[in-house]
Structure 1
Amino acid sequence: MRRALLTGLLPLLLATPAAAMPPSGESSAEVVEVATAAQLAGALAAAVPGQTIRLAPGEYHGAFVARRPGTSAAPITLTGPADAVLVNDGPSGAAPSCPAPGGGWDSGYGLWLYEAPYWRLTGFTVKDSKKGVVLDASPHVVIDGVYVHHVEDEGVHFRRSSSDGVLRNSRITHTGLVQPGYGEGVYLGSAGSNWGCHGNTGGADRSDRVQVVGNTIGPYVAAEHIDVKEGTSGGLISGNTFDGTGVSGQNSADSWVDVKGSGYTIENNTGTFAPPGTFANGYETHNPATTPSFLNGCGNVWRGNRSDLGGVGEYAIKITSTSKCAADPNVVRSSNTVTGATRGLTNVPVTPG
C-alpha cells in the first residue's frame, strides 16, 4: 500500500517546476520579491510579522514608508544588494506641523519607518533624498550593512523614542548637501526644542540604548558624524571609523561625536581629520537645560579610542563642563590615544583603564 501511494505521488512531485520550490528554510508566503517602486510600496503597506521583502537590483524612486509592526519573535525584514537603491525625489506638498505620513505630503525621506517596531533593514543603498533613513516611534529596529550617501540633511535618524535600535556594519558619506549644519551622519533623539513634536515619553524623545557599532562614517559628512541628543541615555558607540574630511563647521558642527545624552559608552573607535573642513575636537560633551529636566551630557565613558586630529583639533575628548556633572561625571580612560592634537588627549583628569 505504501509503495502504491508513493508511486502515485511521484508524477506529481516530478511535475512541480523547480521555480515553484521555495529556497531552503523559507516558505513562499514568507518572502516577497520586488523589482519596481510600485511593488516595493505595496509590499511595505502589506507587510506582516515574519515576512522578508527582497529587493532586486535597480533604482526605486518614490516615497517609501513602512507602518506595519513586526514582533520580537517575528521581525519584518527589508533586504537587498548594495545596487538596490532607494531614491526619494521629493519632498512635495504641504508639510504638517509635525512630520506624519499621509495627507498628500511627501517627506522626501529615502526610507521612513513610522510606528513600525521590529524591522531589519539589510544590504541596500539609500541616496539622493532629503534625509536617508528616518525612524519615528519605531523601537527595536536593526540596520545592518546599509549604505546612505548624497542626502540633503542627516543620514540615519532614530527619532520619537525609537529606542533599543542597532546601526551596524553600515556606511554613511556625503550628507548635508543642502543644509550642511543639519547633515549629521547619525542622529540619536531630538533637540529639546523639538520635544513638543518628537517627545513621545514624558515629554522627551527617549531614543535610548541605541547601538552604533562597526560603521564607517565620512568623508564629507557635513555635521557631526554622530549627534547624541539631550534626554537620551544608555547607548553604545563602538568600533566605528570616522573620517572628518569635509565637516562644515556650520551650526557648531566641528567634531566627530557630540554627546548631550548620558550614560553612553564610547569605545574602540578610530577617528581622523584632514582638510578641507572645520575641526575643533574629536569628541565633545554639552549640557543643555531641558524641560523636563535631565542630567544631560553626563556619565559617559570613553575608552580605547584612537584619534588623529590632523594638527588642527585641540583635544581628542573635550568635556565642556565638569560642575554640571558633579553627581555623574564623564570618564576619560587612559586607554584612549591621540596624535596631531594642538592641546592633548583631554581637558579633564584621565582615569586609569
Structure 2
Amino acid sequence: MRRALLTGLLPLLLATPAAAMPLSGKTGAEVVEVATAAQLAGALAAAVPGQTIRLAPGEYHGAFVARRPGTSAAPITLTGPADAVLVNDGPSGAAPSCPAPGGGWDSGYGLWLYEAPYWRLTGFTVKDSKKGVVLDASPHVVIDGLYVHHVEDEGVHFRRSSSDGVLRGSRITHTGLVQPGYGEGVYLGSAGSNWGCHGNTGGADRSDRVQVTGNTIGPYVAAEHIDVKEGTSGGLISGNTFDGTGVSGQNSADSWVDVKGSGYTIENNTGTFAPPGTFANGYETHNPATTPSFLNGCGNVWRGNGSDLGGMGGYAIKITSTSKCAADPNVVHSSNTVTGATRGLTNVPVTPG
C-alpha cells in the first residue's frame, strides 16, 4: 500500500519544478524558491499571507508588481541576498493619468507594491530602473537591508497613504540619473498638486507614521535624501547617515532632509557634505499652502543630530517660517551639533536638551 502511494506520487513530484515548490521554512511559513524573472513574477502574483518568496542570486529583469495583501499576523516576505538584483528595463506603453498596474503599461519601477499591505522586503538589490521601490496604498510594509542604486528618479517612495511603514538598515545611492531634481533618496507622501491622484478621495496623501531608521543615504542622491511631503505626520527619521556629495541643487534639491509634514522626530542622524554639489542647509522646513494647512511643516523636533556642512551650507537646521507654526512650533534642541556651517546651527531659538 505504501509503495503504491509513493509510486503514484512520484510522477507529480518530478513534474513540479524545484524552484517553484513550496518548502517548509524554519519559521513554519511556506517558502517559495525562485531563480528566474518568470518564477518571481508568478510568485508575486500568487503570494498568500505567511508566505516567503526567496530569491536566488542573479539578475531579474522585468516589471515586478505585488498586489496580494499580507496580514498583521501573517505578512508576506520577499527576501534574497544582495546579489539578487531586480532590474526594470522599462518604462513602456502609454501610462494612465494616475499610475495603476495593467493595461499593457510598464511603469519602469524596480518593485511596485500596489494595495499590498503587510509585506516584508529584505536583503536584495534594486537598480537600473525608473524608480526603485514604490509603495501605493500599501501600509505596514517593512523594508530592511535593501540596496537601491542607479535609478532615474527616487529610490524608495511611500505613496497613496502607505502609512505605518518602516525603512531600515538600507543603502540608497545614485538617484536622479535622468531628472536630478526628482531623484530623492526617500520620498514620504506626495506633493499637494498630486493629491487628486495619490490622496485619499482627493484629500491628502496620508503616508503617516513612517519610520526611516539606520539607513545610509548618498552619495550621489541628486535631490533631497529624504523629502517629507505636506499632509504626512508623525514619522521618525533616526540614526541615518547622509552623504550629500552630488546633491544637484535642481528644483530646490539642496538639503539632506526637507520637512513639509508635521509632527516628525528627527534625531541622532549624521550628515556630511563635500563637493561636487549644491548645498544650502542640512535640514529645512517649508509650509506649502494646501488644506489643511496645519499639516504643513509644523511641530517637528530635532535632537542629537550631527551636521558637517563642509563650509558651504548655511544652517544645520533652517526653519523657514515661525509665524505659520505659532500654534505648533518646530523645536531645535541644544543636543544638535554643527561644524562647517557658514551661518550656524539654526535660525530659531534653541531649546535645552
Q: TM-score of the superposition, structure 2-length normalised?
A: 0.93
- Indicate how the Cα distance of structure 1 residues 29 and 244 shifts in structure 2: closer, same or farther if over 3 A, else same: closer
- Indicate how the Cα distance of structure 1 residues 21 and 77 shifts in structure 2: closer, same or farther if over 3 A, else same: closer
**C-alpha separation in 2, matches of 1:298 and 1:20:** 50
- Contact 1:158/1:207, CA 8 A, preserved across alignment: yes
Cα distance, 1:12 vs structure 2: 18
Cα distance, 1:28 vs structure 2: 8.5
**C-alpha separation in 2, matches of 1:193 and 1:161:** 15
- Contact 1:151/1:174, CA 8 A, preserved across alignment: yes
Structure 1 runs not aligned, ≥5 long: none
Cα distance, 1:289 vs structure 2: 1.0
- Contact 1:110/1:130, CA 8 A, preserved across alignment: yes
- Contact 1:307/1:337, CA 8 A, preserved across alignment: yes
Segment drifting more, 214-223 vs 25-34: 25-34
Cα distance, 1:10 vs structure 2: 20
- Contact 2:20/2:33, CA 8 A, preserved across alignment: no
**C-alpha separation in 2, matches of 1:153 and 1:9:** 50
Q: TM-score of the superposition, structure 1-length normalised?
A: 0.93
Cα distance, 1:63 vs structure 2: 0.1
TM superposition outliers: structure 1 runs of 4+ over 4 Å: 1-25
Structure 2 runs not aligned, ≥5 long: none
- Indicate how the Cα distance of structure 1 residues 9 and 209 shifts in structure 2: closer, same or farther if over 3 A, else same: closer
**C-alpha separation in 1, matches of 2:12 and 2:42:** 34
User: The residue matched to 2:23 in structure 1 has which SS?
Assistant: coil
Cα distance, 1:19 vs structure 2: 12
- Contact 2:19/2:33, CA 8 A, preserved across alignment: no
- Contact 2:233/2:295, CA 8 A, preserved across alignment: no
Cα distance, 1:103 vs structure 2: 0.1
Segment drifting more, 83-92 vs 196-205: 196-205
- Contact 2:338/2:344, CA 8 A, preserved across alignment: yes
Give 2:88's aligned residue. 88
Segment drifting more, 13-22 vs 170-179: 13-22
**C-alpha separation in 1, matches of 2:36 and 2:14:** 33
- Contact 1:203/1:292, CA 8 A, preserved across alignment: no
- Contact 1:161/1:201, CA 8 A, preserved across alignment: no
- Indicate how the Cα distance of structure 1 residues 321 and 25 shifts in structure 2: closer, same or farther if over 3 A, else same: same
- Contact 2:29/2:52, CA 8 A, preserved across alignment: no
Cα distance, 1:284 vs structure 2: 0.1
Structure 2 counterparts to residues 57-76 of structure 1, below 5 A: 57-76=57-76
- Indicate how the Cα distance of structure 1 residues 213 and 230 shifts in structure 2: closer, same or farther if over 3 A, else same: same
- Indicate how the Cα distance of structure 1 residues 116 and 326 shifts in structure 2: closer, same or farther if over 3 A, else same: same
Give 2:149's aligned residue. 149
- Contact 2:24/2:30, CA 8 A, preserved across alignment: no
Cα distance, 1:294 vs structure 2: 3.5
Give 2:321's aligned residue. 321
- Contact 1:223/1:253, CA 8 A, preserved across alignment: yes
Cα distance, 1:26 vs structure 2: 3.6
Cα distance, 1:183 vs structure 2: 0.1
- Indicate how the Cα distance of structure 1 residues 11 and 326 shifts in structure 2: closer, same or farther if over 3 A, else same: closer
Cα distance, 1:59 vs structure 2: 0.1
